[in-house]
Amino acid sequence: MDRVDQAIEHANQGLNRIKIVCRGRKLSLRGSLPKKPGEGRGNRQQTIALGIFANPEGVKVALAKAQRLESDLNLDRFQWSDWAGGGSSVGGKTAADWGKEFGVIKAGSIKPQSYHANYEEPLASLPDKPLSEEMLIAHVLKRSKPDSWGRKNDCMVFRQVAKFAGLTVDFSQVRGRYRPTPVSPDDLPSDDDIEAIWEGLANPGWRWVYGIVFTVIGRIVNQFKG
């Protein structure tokens, strides 16, 4: 089994109603889909050609489209007009609609803390406007300062939303160069501040973890201060 076959097999393990298949050198989606207009009612096994080359990067794009297709089916929002070009049309959905659908899938695939810290707020900020490259770039420029963590995170999140919707958006000109500010040992919180935060943690498990972390950090800092 080559790299592409392995990537397809791994991607399909996370899908329920749709599968990614390789036809020649291109990727397609296959599953039980509503019959096309004029063919009557009900579903039948059908294939949607994506026009994407069968390589590891192409499988990532195909997976995003498969997740979108499953979302359309689960929400009873599937329309053949949205998939006439292999899922490259955003249909009549707004940016906010795409953000909500992508958020449901993303929240189920990463840790809750990561979703809350990186995805929740940016996705909720998407407006009720048609999704396009121009709209997303303008939204990023309006929301965050150049070379900031917020700008970098927004570009990361909205690129994934665009990919999920079948759009290619280039954020390279607006992403900037964010570099975290180095932390000095002198910037560490005081013992009183550390204790106050510890007392504010309701979960005993988190209290234990918090205590261990700051105990180790304190010892390391003291050694360097020597």
Question: For position 18, what pLDDT does the model report?
Answer: 95
Q: Mind listing the pLDDT tens digit for each residue in 189-214?
A: 666 666 666 666 667 777 677 677 76
The larger pLDDT score, comparing residue 216 to residue 119, is at 119
Q: Hey, which of 8-17, 75-84, 107-116 has the most confident mean pLDDT?
A: 8-17
Q: Mind listing the pLDDT tens digit for each residue in 128-167?
A: 988 888 889 999 999 988 888 899 999 999 999 988 887 8
The three-state DSSP-derived secondary structure of the chain is CCHHHHHHHHHHCCCCCEEEEEECCEEEEEEEEECCCCCCCCEEEEEEEEEEECCHHHHHHHHHHHHHHHHHHHCCCCCHHHHCCCCCCCCCCEHHHHHHHHHHHHHCCCCHHHHHHHHHHHHHCCCCCECCHHHHHHHHHHHCCCCCHHHHHHHHHHHHHHHHHCCCCCCHHHHCCCCCCCCCHHHCCCHHHHHHHHHCCCCHHHHHHHHHHHHHHHHHHHHHHC
Please give the C-alpha separations between residue 222 and each of 43, 108, 189, 195, 197, in angstroms, as whole numbers. 68, 41, 14, 18, 21
Q: Are the C-beta atoms of 48 and 101 separated by less than 8 Å?
A: no
The contacts of residue 131 (CB under 8 Å, 6+ apart) are 90, 93, 94, 95, 98, 161, 162, 165, 167
- Is 224's pLDDT higher than 60? no
- Is 125's pLDDT higher than 90? yes
Question: For position 92, what pLDDT does the model report?
Answer: 64
Q: Per-residue confidence at 8, pLDDT binned at 50, 70, 90? A: very high
Backbone dihedral angles phi then psi of residue 75, each to the nearest 5 degrees:
-95, 10
Q: Per-residue confidence at 45, pLDDT binned at 50, 70, 90? A: very high
Question: For position 126, what pLDDT does the model report?
Answer: 95
Q: Mind listing the pLDDT tens digit for each residue in 53-96?
A: 888 888 888 898 899 899 989 989 898 888 876 655 555 678 99
Question: For position 110, what pLDDT does the model report?
Answer: 84
Rounded to whole angstroms, how far apart are CA atoms 192 and 196? 6
Question: For position 220, what pLDDT does the model report?
Answer: 55
Question: For position 107, what pLDDT does the model report?
Answer: 85
